[in-house]
Amino acid sequence: MIGAPLAVSAGYDALASLDADNWFEPSFVADMTRKLLDTGCDIVTCPRALWRLDGSRMGIDNESDGISFNDTNCYLFRNTACFVLNSIAFKKDRHDALIGDQLLWKYIVQSGLDIRRVPRPL
């Protein structure tokens, strides 16, 4: 979360987050940015693919559906929507740290921001 306010204050147009144990597929940034620009929305989400340690794909995570939940690694935020990241940057207690991605999704949904989805995992 240290990088988010730095990126916004430096004037970047959008922000994506990535946990240390995840990666972006090669087309992630281009496809998510295209959706952001084509629709004028605030936030773009995408499905999450799950992978085995040997590099083979397990499948799509049905829990991260962009309706009831979206994984933290599957977003692109327009810079004007980055305020929602405060919901996970400043957690009240240790329990909140365990469910930070769920708290973020709840806050995004409640914010009324325009959310669009890229239908395939990136």
Q: For residue range 85-105, what is the model confidence (pLDDT) as tens digits?
A: 877 776 667 777 677 888 899
Confidence (pLDDT) at 6: 86
CB neighbour list of residue 52: distance below 8 Å, 6 or more residues apart: 58
Look at residue 122 and tell me if it is in a domain: no
Q: Give, for 78, the enclosing helix (H) or strand (E).
A: strand 75-78
Look at residue 102 and tell me if it is in a domain: yes
User: pLDDT-based confidence at 34, cuts 50/70/90?
Assistant: very high
Confidence (pLDDT) at 91: 65
Domain span including residue 75: 3-117
Q: What percent of the chain has pLDDT over 90?
A: 60
Name the domain count of the chain: 1
State the burial class of residue 69 (Cβ atoms within 10 Å of its Cβ: 0-12, 13-18, 19+).
Answer: middle
Look at residue 61 and tell me if it is in a domain: yes
